[in-house]
Chain A
Amino acid sequence: MKSGPGARRALLIRGATTIAVVGVLCWLPQQYGPTETTLYAEALFIAVAAMGLNLLTGYNGQVSIGHGAFFGLGAYATGILMLDHGWPFLATLPVAAVLAAVVGAAVGFPALRVKGLYLALITLGLAALFPALVNKFVKSTGGTSLVQLYRVRPKPPEWASSFAAAEDQWRYYVTLVVAGVLFALMVNLVRGRFGRALVAVREHEAAAETLGINLARVKVSAFAISALYAGVAGSLAALVRLQANAGQIEVFQQSIIFLVAVVIGGTATTLGPVVGAFVVVLLQDHTADLIKDEPTLSPALFGITLILLMYVLPDGLVGGCRRLFRRIRGRMHAGSATDSAPT
């Protein structure tokens, strides 16, 4: 670790940015109406799922296009427990998390032998299978597999009435707190021993193994943790959207959205998935009403924007910004000190 004035300044900048970001996130529901607040809450839970997927895909190099299934599992766990068993929302959260993690670990086991595209395909199978299973076995109140939570939706408590009087605000803040806690945990996880093990396994499995890393444990844990994040995200989604459903196309698209958020934001960066989630959600929302007479064209706009973003920023928004900063700093250093030529 570097020390001295440079490091202290970096720490200051980082602290100031964190406070600013948290401030903005807290202020959003005060400024905007229910529609936007719900949209931002959506971005927050997608960020949670993307953080988890980033651990698996970004840091560990295992591509999954099936995390929509874990997400759906979390949503259904919360939905069914709240609607049919009368649980409060927060009590369902750990259940959703554990359930998703257990299934995630089970799916992670084949991943020990199956790699790359083949693994992506197994996870695709998961995304394809989940809706079929739900539609066959879940019979919620009303007889369909759609779980509606309007009747049991949580009300904002008394003590929060000063800042979250409206239900949408309350749901946003609950999502924000859960997302914040999970973000902090994730940052610690990837900066620590486990995070370095993940990267080592991604870069070279055989080499990592010779360094004494237990491949099986690392890969299965990565799968389980990322599934846990997706499960919690699903649980939050049930809270925000007040329903859980699982159409074949929706589950697949959800999985794709997570992956898009990770790559757009920047793989293997801590902030990337969060930035990516907001960009994806807002982009989708804006392209949806950009062309008034042709609503069928809005996915085209979204798709083309994705492609263009990949041209300009192949390493994602966070990666791109990092490159930009490095270049600016390089310029400044080159200007001030002639003896430290860039190597």
Chain B
Amino acid sequence: MQLFLSQLMNGLGNGVIYASLALAIVLIYRTTGLLNFAQGEMALFSTYVTWKLVDDSEMGLPVAAAIGISMVIAFVGGALIERVVIRPVERSSPLVIVIVTIGMFLAINSIAQAIFGTDTKQLPSVFSDAAWVVGGVRVTAQTVGLVGVLAAECLLLWLLLQKTRVGLGLRAVASNPDSSRLVGIGTGNMLMLGWAISAALGALAGAMIVPMTPGLSAGSMQAVLIYAFAAAALGGFDSPLGAVVGGIIVGVAQALAIQYVDPLNDIELVVPFALIGGVLLFRPTGLFGRRVVERV
């Protein structure tokens, strides 16, 4: 039982990480209806910026401040990317946009390596390494902190999307760009804002993820991105709540599978995708996704 609970905690810790990147994916999908393959690399770049701010001998900022600054930089960067790179193909077929984000994936990854070097970096965690034993299970400050950050993120997003005028605009543009333009919503600005927020979330996610991995390197985000996509698909691409639930399910299922199902060693990736396959067969738009009614 104790083992089960501690694996559950492990899984939760990982799941929260997947969820944080999945949230960024979902946000872009909600506003623009497209899947951003460069999401992980954008987060990677921001995390390099965070690392630079912390590590640099002249600046040497505390981690939390560095994360804040790099989130601001990412916010601006995300807006710029939307305006400069995505805008020209906004009305093209989704496949074209997919290729553009793939191009961005390659470009950002290699530019990050060229600027920051190819060696592995260490980014300290923003949370203390304290741990408590609750009912025989080790609970780390890391996990508690991650859950807290994610919960705050979700709450803020929910407030933004559901309770503010800007949020209403974002949702309107996502559901029907042409009509929302007719009622006077600045569609372009909304799309830009969606990208900006999503990039900032990515920066936050990156800074949370990297301290839990062996180090920051060019491939840091790629495996996480796959799990985050899995989480987003499981929850439904258009649901932030789904992203969180999906992320946690993927993380926990993965941890439990490694612990209890021996043949799954090294191939624990089977778990999230078996889950996705299973869920999508019964609910083709994910657990929390909305169904689209089609007219002939």
| Interface residues as binary, A296-310 with B (CB distance below 8 Å gives 1, 0 otherwise) | 111110111111001
Interface pair B114/A306, CB less than 8 Å apart: no
B93 touches A113 (CB 8 A): no
Q: Is the CB of B89 within 8 A of A135?
A: no
Complex contact B85–A307 (CB within 8 A): yes
How far apart are the CA atoms of A204 and B296 in the complex, in Å? 8
In the assembled complex, A117 has its CB within 8 A of some CB on chain B: yes
CB-based contact B114/A132 at 8 Å: no
**B18 contacts chain A at the CB level, 8 A cutoff:** no
Q: Within 8 Å of chain A (Cβ to Cβ): is B127?
A: no
> Which of B88, B106, B109 has most chain A Cβ within 10 Å?
B106
Checking B114, B232, B269 against A300 with a beta-carbon cut-off of 8 angstroms, the contacting residue is: B114
A226 at the interface (CB under 8 A from B): no
Of A147-155, A170-178, A256-264, the stretch lying at the interface with chain B is A256-264
A contact residues, range: 35 or more
Judge whether A263 and B237 touch: CB under 8 Å: no
Check if B267 sits within 8 Å of A129, measured CB to CB.
yes
Interface presence of B104 (CB below 8 A): yes
Would you call B6 an interface residue if the criterion is a C-beta within 8 Å of the partner chain's C-beta atoms?
no
A51 interface contact, C-beta 8 A: no
Q: Which of B231-287 contact A (CB under 8 A)?
A: 232-233, 237, 265-267, 269-270, 272-273, 276-277, 280-281, 284-286
- A57: interface (CB < 8 Å): yes
A118–B265 alpha-carbon span in the complex (Å): 26
Given contacts A113-B281, A297-B114, A303-B110, contact A125 B93 (CB under 8 A): no
**Contact: B280 with A114, CB < 8 Å?**
yes
Task: Give CA–CA (A296, B111) in the complex, Å.
Answer: 8
Give chain A interface residues in 119-153, CB to chain B under 8 Å.
Answer: 120-122, 124-126, 128-129, 132-133, 135-136
User: B89 to A314, Cβ gap below 8 A?
Assistant: yes
A125 CA to B237 CA in the complex, in Å? Answer: 16
Please tell me if A201 contacts chain B, counting CB pairs below 8 Å: no
Most buried by B among A118, A298, A305: A118
> Does A310 lie within 8 Å of B96, measured CB to CB?
yes
User: Looking at the complex, which one of A118, A135, A206, A248 makes contact with B285 (CB distance below 8 Å)?
Assistant: A118
Q: Within 8 Å of chain B (Cβ to Cβ): is A115?
A: yes
The residue on A at minimum CB distance from B280 is: A114
Q: How far is the CA of A203 from the CA of B272 in the complex (A)?
A: 31
Q: Given the known A-B contacts A129-B273, A303-B103, are A118 and B111 also in contact in the complex, defined by CB atoms under 8 Å?
A: no
- Asked if B222 is at the interface (CB within 8 A of a chain A CB), the reply is yes
Q: Quick check: B110 and A256 within 8 Å, CB to CB? A: no
**Contact of B233 with A121 in the complex, beta carbons under 8 Å:** yes
Query: B113 touches which one: A57, A264, A296 (CB < 8 A)?
Result: A296
Question: In the complex the two chains form, what is the Cα distance from A204 to B294 in whole Å?
Answer: 10
A302 CA / B99 CA spacing, docked (Å): 12
Shortest beta-carbon distance from A263 to chain B in Å = 5
Q: How far, in angstroms, from A133 to B232 measured CA to CA in the complex?
A: 24
**Cβ of B219 under 8 Å from chain A:** yes
Q: Is the CB of A299 within 8 A of B233?
A: no
- Judge if B288 is at the interface, Cβ distance under 8 Å: no
Question: What chain A residues lie within 8 Å of B108 (beta carbons)?
Answer: 303
Interface residue? B162 (CB, 8 A): no
How far apart are the CA atoms of A132 and B113 in the complex, in Å?
26
Contact B229 A124 (CB under 8 A): yes
CB pair A110–B277 under 8 Å, yes or no, is yes
Q: Is the CB of B267 within 8 A of A133?
A: yes
Verify if B100 is at the interface (C-beta below 8 Å from A): yes
* A189 interfacial contact with B, CB 8 Å: no
Q: Which of A115, A129, A303, A311 makes the CB contact (< 8 A) with B106?
A: A303
Q: Give the chain A neighbours of B237 by CB distance below 8 A.
A: 117-118
Q: Is the interface of B mostly helix, strand, loop or mixed?
A: helix
A-side interface mostly: helix
Q: Is the CB of A118 within 8 A of B88?
A: no
Bound: A259/B93 CA distance, A: 14
Q: Which residues of A contact B96 (CB under 8 A)?
A: 263, 310, 314
Verify if A44 is at the interface (C-beta below 8 Å from B).
no
A232 at the interface (CB under 8 A from B): no
In the assembled complex, how far is the CB of residue B161 from the closest CB belonging to chain A, in whole angstroms? 20
Q: Across the interface, do B270 and A299 meet the contact criterion of CB distance under 8 Å?
A: no
Contact of A307 among B100, B222, B270 (CB under 8 A): B100
From A128, A263, A311, B273 is in contact (CB under 8 Å) with A128
B1 → chain A closest CB, angstroms: 30
B154 part of interface (Cβ distance < 8 Å): no
Which residues of B are found within 8 Å of A303, using beta-carbon distances? 102-108, 110
CB of A221 within 8 Å of the partner chain: no
B226 in the interface, Cβ–Cβ < 8 Å? yes
Q: In the assembled complex, which residues on chain B have CB atoms less than 8 Å from the CB atom of A126?
A: 273
- Residue among B99, B104, B109, B267 facing the most chain A CB atoms (10 A cut-off): B99
Contact B35 A260 (CB under 8 A): no
B45 to chain A, nearest CB (A): 12
Per-residue interface assignment for chain B, residues 88 to 128, with 1 indicating a CB less than 8 Å from any chain A CB and 0 otherwise: 11001101101110111111111101100010000000000
Interface string of A210-253 (1 = CB under 8 A from B): 10000000000000000000000000000000000000110010
B residues near A92, Cβ cutoff 8 Å? none
Q: Is B54 an interface residue (CB 8 A)?
A: no
A122 x B277 contact (CB < 8 A) = yes
Residues of chain B at the chain A interface (Cβ within 8 Å): 29, 35, 85, 88-89, 92-93, 95-96, 98-100, 102-111, 113-114, 118, 219, 222-223, 226, 229-230, 232-233, 237, 265-267, 269-270, 272-273, 276-277, 280-281, 284-286, 294, 296
Q: List 15 A-B contacts (CB under 8 A).
A: A110-B280, A115-B284, A118-B285, A122-B233, A128-B226, A206-B296, A263-B95, A263-B98, A294-B114, A299-B107, A300-B107, A303-B110, A307-B103, A307-B107, A311-B89
Knowing that A63-B98, A206-B296, A300-B111 touch, tell me 11 more A-B residue pairs with CB under 8 angstroms: A118-B280, A125-B277, A128-B226, A129-B269, A132-B266, A136-B265, A303-B104, A310-B96, A310-B100, A311-B88, A314-B93
